[in-house]
Chains A and B, each alone.
Chain A
Amino acid sequence: MTDPSTATGTDLTADVLVAGGGPAGAWAAVKAAEAGANVVLADKGYLGTSGATAAAGTGVWYVEPDPAAREAAMASREGLGGHLADRAWMARVLDQTYANMNELAEISKYPFPVGPDGRQIRRGLQGPEYMRRMRVRVRRAGVRVLDHSPVTELLADGSGAVAGAAGRRLRAGGEFRVRAGAVVLATGGCAFLSRALGCDVNTGDGALFAAEAGAELSGMEFSNAYAIAPAFTSVTKTAFYSFATFYRADGTVLEGAGSQKGRSVIARTLLDEPVLCRIDRATPDERAAMRLAQPNFFLPFDRQGIDPFHDLFPVTLLAEGTVRGTGGIRITGPDCSTSVPGLYAAGDAATRELICGGFTGGGSHNAAWAMSSGTWAGQGAARHAAALGGGAARRRTRPLGAAGIRPAGRPALDHREVTAAVRAEVLPYDKNYLRHGDRLAPALAALDDTWRALRDGLAGAGVDGARARSAAAMAAHARWMYRAALARTETRGMHKREDRPGADPAQHFRLVTGGLDEIWTRPETAVAAVAP
């Protein structure tokens, strides 16, 4: 690798390239570097503030290595996830998360709270503090960090193995290319620019790159997460609304509405009328705890002069797609490898079905998955690069990007039009949240039309080029979601079909999805085993 102090930042070589600077990417970069790899990390925003975690506070699936406690932790959520999770993966995520959280305390000196027994409580993280410290650790590990540098496509060698990535430098200007022995995609899930807290950088770019390289996706039907937020604001923290009562505009209680059970009642009501809320079931101690757990939850209230514990305020549901859904790039090995040599996936870019099945209640499992899968993907990518030998980063490569970067026809489309067309099919509650085959099918047809148009005519230069790729990625993501949602003709996990209520025992399998112009689905036949 070029000396970081003198490199121009346009054409680099590395053992491992990490795309994405949220927690999964940061852990991948640290662990690849600790395994001896030269690492470049590129993020479309800024390592330390980018993504769903940095702006939020989250619980972490951190369980002491006590067999009874571990058993209870694994058993507690299996039903919620539609029994699609895998015990062996859960067990190793619990092990790895325990180790990583302890590293955060010991190496990064993360200031955890201290319990009455004098011991640190390591079951939660505050995003700004966590990611600031991860940035320090990544840089101390010698990783070259490219901020404001969205990856726009993967590079492959002659055999089809992934051999690097290329992208745009938004602030420095120009393009960059990193030829590498292996690539980790840690680009996050896809929230369709819904303005859900911290999620506007999560446009599903990595899933598009992976599909272009020939990788598969899994669980894309589990993609209808919506979070409660005060209307016209960004701050999501659905857990706190378990203390809330919901009301109609006339002040009567909205029967059946709730943050866990009953969020669909809120969605159905919001289609026609406003929904009001008051967090009126929290004790004074709980109210105080909320302020300490996620201070920015209260910024929209405090700054508008609303007391959420006493005043009624309007709420909305913001799409979180596959950020808090569980679908993503399919993992095929214990090192978070994919079906494409040289390509690894971590965090929300990857499927979280292995530990959650078809449902995650919030950040706790995702946070554990991000640090665990990031660790394994980073180590796996470093091993892969080492096995290829020193010349791997100088292989002859070809770029794999097509939609939104190399259109078949004359570029005539604006990425804003494409994004608007995708959002019109994905954000409405009666299409994605309250699912019915009669509404999913026409929405998919409209998205297919959008895809054909953008394949023919979407591209852009500079910043617009990166956005055109994100628009294409969102279009692809929405089509995988709805194709999978139509294929799963039952209700399981978060995927609820109004026309197919109840689980169908014959569909107790994960659903694999792939393809770009033609999308396919198939039941998964072999689970990604922990032991190779």
Chain B
Amino acid sequence: MIEVVSAARCVACDVCVKVCPTDVFERGPDGVPVIARQGDCQTCFMCEAHCPTDALYVAPFSDPAPPGSPHADEAALGPALGAYRRIVGWGSGRTPGSRADKNHLFTRRVRVVPERPED
């Protein structure tokens, strides 16, 4: 679930408020988005990919991080902020990650699995 909105990095562009498919954010009084409905977060990481300043961190759990968790501590996360956008290859000067896509290899693998989907 979304855990961190970095006020230091945020430029109040509202992109995350707009793109979140489950409408988790609200614009805060200072323009920095607040996590208004964390329980609706589906942990899809889309806000991270779209954030132009790497200000967001989605913890890898479908439930809220426990109190004191490093996953909710911006200082402890460091380079994890922006890591997903880097591999998706979005941002100026980057190559889209889709250029290196290998999905076709795994589709072929499913195809060669013998008849009967399961036991």
Contact = CB atoms under 8 A, between A and B. Distances in A.
Interface in A475-504: 493-494, 496
Nearest to A72: B111
B102 A195 contact: no
Contacts of A496: 118
Contact of A232 (B61, B99, B113): B61
B107 to A, nearest CB: 3
Contacts of A2: none
Interface in B97-119: 97-111, 113, 115-119
Interface residues of B, number: 51
A498 B92 CA distance: 55
Interface string A150-169: 00000000000000000000
Interface in B18-53: 18-23, 40, 42-46, 49-50
A46 B20 contact: yes
Contacts of A362: 107, 110
Given A111-B98, A129-B96, A201-B22, A299 B45 contact: yes
A303 B102 contact: no
Contacts, number: 194
B88 interface: yes
B60 A290 contact: no
B65 to A, nearest CB: 11
Nearest to B88: A128
Contacts of A123: 103-104, 107
Contacts of A361: 110-111, 113, 117
What bracket does the count of chain A residues touching chain B fall in? 35 or more
Nearest to A120: B99
A303 B77 CA distance: 9
Interface in A296-346: 296, 299-304
A12 B118 CA distance: 49
Given A48-B19, A55-B44, A198-B42, A128 B49 contact: yes
Interface string A105-131: 000001111100000010111101110
B98 A129 contact: yes
B21 A126 contact: no
Interface of A: 44-46, 48-51, 54-55, 57-61, 76-77, 79-80, 110-114, 121, 123-126, 128-130, 147-148, 170-171, 195, 197-201, 232-235, 239-240, 242, 256, 260-265, 286, 289-296, 299-304, 359, 361-362, 364, 493-494, 496
Interface of B: 17-23, 40, 42-46, 49-50, 58-63, 71, 80, 83-84, 87-88, 90, 95-111, 113, 115-119
